[in-house]
């Protein structure tokens, strides 16, 4: 699968072959990280345009570009400090910024906004999250973490726990994992269940899907415990959000019911859904995910720009 010069907008662009090729490239990138960097992308410039807050995604893309010898220009608050404040259109922003750089990474609260940027850009655009729609690179690093920790993906039971209606990360994870022989255990309040079209798509790909609202009963079955926060910013009111706050909390007592070789994932930031006492549990991999994210984004930048 050739991504040279291509926009990376959706997990739908990846099949199993493309993912495994990217994962092998990411393993090489991990060695570059240990060795102190490379000049593979010397002379290339990345623009990170963020219309929503971010810590891990923005920093890891910028770290990835720097480690490969490229340079970064960045705006972490596009809504307040760019010409959008002067009513410039997103289309004109794309046409302008793409004259200065070799690749754009963008996050925006509206679904489809990154696609609009790509349609008007002269350089590749990578989606760093567009509202509740897609977050392809986060899903890629999550699946990469499972692939590394489990020695593969086929035969793995994937648990997804929390706000599955609004979480763009579990949506994107499903789009990637459907290409493998995995079982899904989806745990959420009924009102925050995985959208039915995504469940139907998983079944179309012959994936077994179990839906539940009982984490205690479901936990012993999971090889991967994928926790997600309740997406406060996706609710219309704080009152509605409060109904689901703290609905599932993974703590040391509950983890006694989990498999000894299970792994805990979380895209972060966490709120209250994983007790800090679990940070020292060897099954907790959510901070290692961050390092894996740098490697995956290095691999993706290399494939797009080299």
Give the angle subtended at the CA of 245 by the CAs of 241 and 246, to the nearest 5°: 170
- Rounded distance between C-alpha atoms, residue 58 and residue 105, angstroms: 8
Asked whether the beta carbons of 162 and 192 are under 8 A apart, the reply is yes
- Is residue 167 within 8 A of residue 138, CB to CB? The reply is no
CA nearest 115: which of 9, 14, 11, 12? 9
Catalytic residue among 86, 87, 204, 256: 86
Cα 106–112–117 angle (5° rounding)? 45
Whether residue 57 lies in the annotated active site: yes
Catalytic residue among 44, 58, 67, 107: 107
91-97: long-range pairs with CB below 8 Å, 24+: 91/116, 91/119, 91/120, 92/120, 93/49, 93/117, 94/118, 94/119, 94/120, 94/121, 94/125, 95/120, 95/121, 95/122, 97/47, 97/49, 97/121
Active site residue 93: no
Active site residue 107: yes
* Residue of 7, 44, 48, 57 marked active site: 57
Asked if residue 163 lies in contact with residue 132, where contact means CB atoms within 8 angstroms, the answer is no
**Crossing angle between the packed helical segments 286-305 and 56-67, to the nearest 10 degrees:** 50
Number of H helices and number of E strands within the chain? 12, 9
- Selecting among 7, 58, 135, 165, the annotated active-site residue is 135
Torsion of CA 60, 64, 65, 67, to 10 degrees: 130
- Which residues are catalytically annotated? 56-57, 86, 107, 135
């Amino acid at each position: 699968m050739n991504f040279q010069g291509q926009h990376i907008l959706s997990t739908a662009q990846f099949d199993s072959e493309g993912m495994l090729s990217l994962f092998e490239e990411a393993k090489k990138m991990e060695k570059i990280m240990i060795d102190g960097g490379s000049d593979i992308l010397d002379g290339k410039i990345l623009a990170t345009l963020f219309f929503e807050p971010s810590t891990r995604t923005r920093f890891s893309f910028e770290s990835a570009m720097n480690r490969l010898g490229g340079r970064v220009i960045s705006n972490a608050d596009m809504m307040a400090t760019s010409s959008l404040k002067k009513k410039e259109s997103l289309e004109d922003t794309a046409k302008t910024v793409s004259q200065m750089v070799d690749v754009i990474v963008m996050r925006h609260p509206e679904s489809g906004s990154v696609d609009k940027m790509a349609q008007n850009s002269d350089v590749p655009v990578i989606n760093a999250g567009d509202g509740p729609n897609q977050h392809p690179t986060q899903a890629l690093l999550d699946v990469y973490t499972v692939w590394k920790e489990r020695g593969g993906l086929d035969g793995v039971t994937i648990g997804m726990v929390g706000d599955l209606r609004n979480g763009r990360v579990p949506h994107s994870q499903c789009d990637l994992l459907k290409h493998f022989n995995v079982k899904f255990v989806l745990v959420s309040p009924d009102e925050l269940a995985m959208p039915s079209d995504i469940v139907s798509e998983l079944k179309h790909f012959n994936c077994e899907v179990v839906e539940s609202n009982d984490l205690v009963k479901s936990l012993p079955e999971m090889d991967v415990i994928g926790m997600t926060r309740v997406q406060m910013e996706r609710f219309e009111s704080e009152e509605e959000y409060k109904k689901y706050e703290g609905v599932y909390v993974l703590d040391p007592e509950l983890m006694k019911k989990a498999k000894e070789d299970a792994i805990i994932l979380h895209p972060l930031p966490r709120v209250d859904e994983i007790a800090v006492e679990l940070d020292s549990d060897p099954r907790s991999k959510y901070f290692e995910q961050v390092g894996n994210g740098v490697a995956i984004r290095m691999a993706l930048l290399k494939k797009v720009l080299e």
